[in-house]
Structure 1
Amino acid sequence: MSFFKKLFSSAKKPVVQSAPPVTQPDVPDDLPDWSEIEAAHDAARVAGAECLDRHWRSVGAVEQDVLSYMISPSFSGGPDWPSTRQAYRVVRRGDSIILATEGLSDPFDGTDDMSNGFEMELFIETADIPEHAKGAVGDVDPFKRSWAFELLETLAKTVANAGGITHSLDQHGVLSVDVPGFSQSHHIDGQVPALFVTDDDCVGVLLGGPQPDFPTRLDDMPLSPVRLVPVVLITAAELAYVRSGGRAAREDLVSRLNAAGIGYVSSLQRASVV
């Protein structure tokens, strides 16, 4: 055998190893179908908005446009609402304006929870919005410069941070909230009289009462019932009264507001009832 034949015949052939078989992980059969969930949430959001629209149209004249944001505040460090949709409706009712949140009752993004979010929306009614902050019919943007919108927006953030307040309303009845930083506000300071401002720079509100003259429970929302929670501005003396008296004082204040014919409407012109 020639030298070259010996050389090539003695060279070892490379060993080809077979790759180990690829095994697919076991996938549970009961994992949710996120495409179906997202489609159901989208449909529920549309149906919920239509339900709210029908309700508010039974109360007053609803503006077609809503107050909203170019970019959802949840993308810039703001509290998370159930979805990224954060908006406010404007309802004209005689001489009064109702501003109402729109989105606190949206289904939760990114979960398979099938409920209407926090199952609530907030609203405030008042006739005392300055002319420069009261848009003509068809123009809602000026309302952003009103004390009522700033107050409602602040309380919506508080509710979102708390994950909703329906449980607290069920447990404690009408709630009172201190809203601090009056002197640092953009529009509340300068529009709300001193009668409503405490010595420690707060304004106070009741949440959940007195009750308005229209239904506040929507049982025909697509996923679960939703309640509309009134926001009622109270005077500094009234806030001091409920701070010291708890639930009994809150319930008594509701009775006094009703007896005085003030009810749930936030009036800047009224006298204190305590």
Structure 2
Amino acid sequence: MNFFKKLLVSLKRPKTEDVQPTSQPLEVHEPDIYDSMTEAEAANLAAREASAACLDRHWASVGTIERDVLAYMISPSFSGGPYWPSTRQAYRVVRRNDTIIIATEGLSDPFDDAEETGNGFEMELFVETADIPEHARGPVGDVDPFQRSWAFELVEHVAKTVADAGGYTRGLDKYGAMSIEIPGFSLSNHMCDQFPKHFVTEDDSTGVLLGAPEPDFPTRLDDMPLSPVRLVPVVLITASELEYIRAGGRAARDDLLVRLKAAGVGHVSSLQRESVV
């Protein structure tokens, strides 16, 4: 049995404390799922299961994770949408004390193509905020209302941009942080109804910082099965801050990060805050 098969079998076995004592020796069988799989398919599935388990462990250390995820009935990649490493495109909800995290789930999946290696784009995105409207904030156990929130729409849009580019890890390694503009703001489904005016530029755009400021929990997962994965914060910025970056480029972006940290804003996206420039 190769490494990936052992990995999948271990994930499927019950924990030792859950097994009832017995006087008969136990015989362990490989999951029947392998009977209809090629070696490459089995290895891919094992790596995907291990990746999901690693993300589960991490987010459980950050807050209370919802077991259900926000997902599509049919993968957008089948209808002209951007390709993720696999057909699984989902979003995880994590509840913290006064904030909600909505995170991508699938950008770091192993590639469906057996010839590819590594954990997908080696990154997942997340937005953290306390400012989700009541009608879009589901009670514990109900994630469906969150799809009507600006936070979900924002991270979904950025995820499409990242997937179209095949990931942004090289840019983040080079610059430390990046900025993204979202044009056509007035055409959005929920952001246009939930954003205050000072987050929208005169040319109908809004902006985010990608990768910084750093959150108050680890963002590098070294125990993913194929390659390390980073968790990348998506931080909403005001129209004035976006214009500041437009005019000043990288130097202005770096200065904006310093100002956000000094103002105590950090990585949490707030609709209530004023601009720091």
Secondary structure of the structure 2 residue equivalent to 1:98 = strand
Mapped to 1, the partners of 2:82 and 2:116 lie a distance apart of: 19
TM-score (norm 2): 0.86
2:272 matches 1:269: yes
2:269 matches 1:227: no
Mapped to 2, the partners of 1:238 and 1:147 lie a distance apart of: 19
Q: Map 1:12-161 onto structure 2 (within 5 A).
A: 35-161=38-164
TM-score (norm 1): 0.87
Q: Deviations over 1:81-110 (max 9, x none)?
A: 000000000000011000000000001112
Q: Deviations over 1:215-263 (max 9, x none)?
A: 0000000100000000000000000111111111111111111111110
AA aligned to 1:230 is P
Mapped to 2, the partners of 1:78 and 1:208 lie a distance apart of: 24
Mapped to 1, the partners of 2:113 and 2:199 lie a distance apart of: 41
Mapped to 1, the partners of 2:114 and 2:151 lie a distance apart of: 33
Secondary structure of the structure 2 residue equivalent to 1:70 = coil
Root-mean-square deviation (CA), in Å? 0.9
- Which segments of 5 or more consecutive residues in structure 2 lack a partner in the other structure? 1-36
Whichever of the two has the greater Rg, that structure is 1
Q: Is the 8 A contact 1:37 1:112 kept in 2?
A: no
Mapped to 2, the partners of 1:95 and 1:104 lie a distance apart of: 27
Q: Map 1:153-232 onto structure 2 (within 5 A).
A: 153-232=156-235
AA aligned to 1:126 is T
Mapped to 1, the partners of 2:114 and 2:162 lie a distance apart of: 20
Mapped to 2, the partners of 1:207 and 1:262 lie a distance apart of: 15
Secondary structure of the structure 1 residue equivalent to 2:78 = helix
Q: Deviations over 1:28-77 (max 9, x none)?
A: xxxxxx92222111111110000001000000000010000111111111
Secondary structure of the structure 2 residue equivalent to 1:155 = helix
Q: Is the 8 A contact 2:125 2:155 kept in 1?
A: yes
Mapped to 1, the partners of 2:102 and 2:244 lie a distance apart of: 27
